[in-house]
Amino acid sequence: MGEVEDLRWLEVACDLAASCPPSSTAFSVGAVVVGADGRELARGYSRETDDKVHAEEAALAKIPGMDLAGATVYSSLEPCARRLSRPKPCARLIVERGAGRVVFAWREPALFVEGDGFELLEHEGVEVVEIPALAARAKLPNAHLL
C-alpha cells in the first residue's frame, strides 16, 4: 500500500470511530482490514456488537479463518496490547490472524491501560506505521475522555 492508500483507508477508520456508542470507560475506535490486493475485507468499530468489543476485534470477527497474509489493518487508535475486558488484546489477535501490517493514527493514551501495541506488533514482525497527521481526527469522537 502506498501513502495515498494508507491515508484514504485510515480516514475511513477514523470516520468509523464516530459510529461508536459513547462510553466513559473506553475509546471510540474504527478499523478496516484491507487485503493485499487493496480491497476492503471487513470493517468494525468499538462497541459495534457488544459493549466490550474493540474495533479491530469486530472487523476480524467478520472474516473468520481468512488468510490475512499481506493484509493491512487500519485503526484510528494504536491496537491494544493489554486489555481488561477480553482474554486477548487486539494486537495479539492481529498477529494470530497473520496480518503483516498495521497503520494507525493515534497512540493509545494511558487513560485505561498502558498502550504498547506498537511495541508488541513490531516485536512479532508486523510492520507498523503511525500517521500522526490524522491523530486529531481520531481524537474527535473521544473528546469527552480527554
Which sequence positions are flagged as catalytic?
A: 56
Least Cα distance to 103 among 37, 18, 12 occurs for 12
Which residues fall within 8 angstroms of residue 50, CB to CB, at 6 or more apart?
A: none
Q: Which residue has the cell 462497541?
A: 47
Which residues fall within 8 angstroms of residue 3, CB to CB, at 6 or more apart?
A: none
> Pseudo-torsion of CA 102, 42, 44, 127, nearest 10°?
0
Give Cα 32 to chain centroid, integer Å.
Answer: 7
Backbone phi and psi for residue 64, each to the nearest 5 degrees, phi listed first: -65, 140
In three-state secondary structure terms, 119 is helix
